[in-house]
Amino acid sequence: MEKLIITAAICGAEVTKEHNPAIPYTVEEIVREARSAMDAGASIIHLHVREDDGTPTQSKSRFKECISAIRNACPHAIIQPSTGGAVGMSNEERLQPVELQPEMATLDCGTVNFGGDEIFVNSENTIIEFAQKMLDLNIKPEIEVFDKGMIDTALRLHKKGLIAAPMHFNFVLGVNGGISATLRDLTFLQGSIPAGSTFTVSGIGRAQFQMAAAAIITGGHVRVGFEDNIYMQKGVLASSNGELVAKAVRLARELGRNVASPAQAREILGLTAK
């Protein structure tokens, strides 16, 4: 089986220090968390950034500052900025980090309820605009899938030449409003993507490590990190993203799957370091 790529979603846009005091806001904290994840075995840093007070931002200059500081500390990391940002941001705001021409960026392929009154809006025209921009800038999209129809949308865009093959998907399971974190639904998603594609699995909350184990044994890749889950186990907060990555590495070892280095991850994903 292909080596396992571990992505660390170190920050997110929604979780706060009130949930877990280790959530990073400042550049220094973001670097601390990226380094802990890379040292533990991650290859990809899925990156959201914040103002120093924790407010989520998609500011190009804040991303530039954080990316360059992460690169200094972890020169091999694959840095994958979010173009999802936070609920309610405009397309223009959300797209700013792609102007920095990262190797990868996220491409959210549909609208989803996020619980309560929160709706994460991605109209078809938005998805087309974002896909075209990434194609023009030679950025590999990670196709974010919160529900099965989002795969179908990505496949339609692929047919129109807006997303290149081989495609890379992130199955996010367990968001309130999205597909559930069950083996049945994960299998359904896995069976719905074209041969030759790669996929990562992000289980939300307590499903993080159950879904990670399922991904490890079925040839998928794994995302862990504070964006999706802040606990090591019920009632025990993780002290760092590195702790969560280390648990994914232990699972992989126990299940007989080797973990990819960043160079191996680039090879698997067909990336050329920029």
Which residues of the shown chain bind ligand KMH in the complex (CB under 6 A)? Answer: 13-14, 82-84, 86-87, 106, 108, 120, 144
Nearest CB to Zn ion, comparing residues 105 and 186: 105
Residues paired with 198 in a beta bridge: 168
Q: Does 122 bind Zn ion (CB under 5 A)?
A: no
- Give the nearer residue to Zn ion in terms of CB position, either 244 or 257: 244
Please compute, for residue 265, the number of CA atoms within 13 A of its CA located in the half-sphere on the CB side. Answer: 28
Q: Which does 203 bind (CB under 5 to 8 A by kind): ligand KMH, Zn ion, none?
A: none
Q: How far is the CB of 106 from ligand KMH (least distance, A)?
A: 3
Count CB-CB contacts under 10 A for residue 79. 23
Gyration radius (Cα) of the chain, Å: 17
Residue 65 touches which member of ligand KMH, Zn ion, none, C-beta under 5-8 Å by kind: none
Q: Taking the mean position of all CA atoms in its chain, how far away is CA 72? A: 21
How big is the CA angle at 79 (ends 77 and 85), to the nearest 5 degrees?
Answer: 150
For residues 70-99, which are near Zn ion according to CB under 5 A?
82
Which residues lie closer than 8 Å to 94 by C-beta, 6 or more apart?
Answer: 58, 83, 84, 85, 130
* C-beta of 82 vs 198, nearer to ligand KMH: 82
Altogether, the residues listed in the chain come to a count of: 274
Q: Give which of ligand KMH, Zn ion, none residue 126 binds (C-beta under 5 to 8 Å, depending on kind).
A: none
Looking at the Cβ atoms of 133 and 257, the one nearer to ligand KMH is 133
In sequence order, the β-bridge partners of residue 91 are none
CB nearer ligand KMH, residue 14 or residue 65: 14
Residue in the shown chain whose Cβ atom is closest to ligand KMH? 84
Q: Mapping DSSP to helix (H, G, I), strand (E, B) and coil, where does residue 132 land? A: helix
CB 220 → ligand KMH: shortest distance, Å? 18
Contacts to Zn ion by CB under 5 A = 82
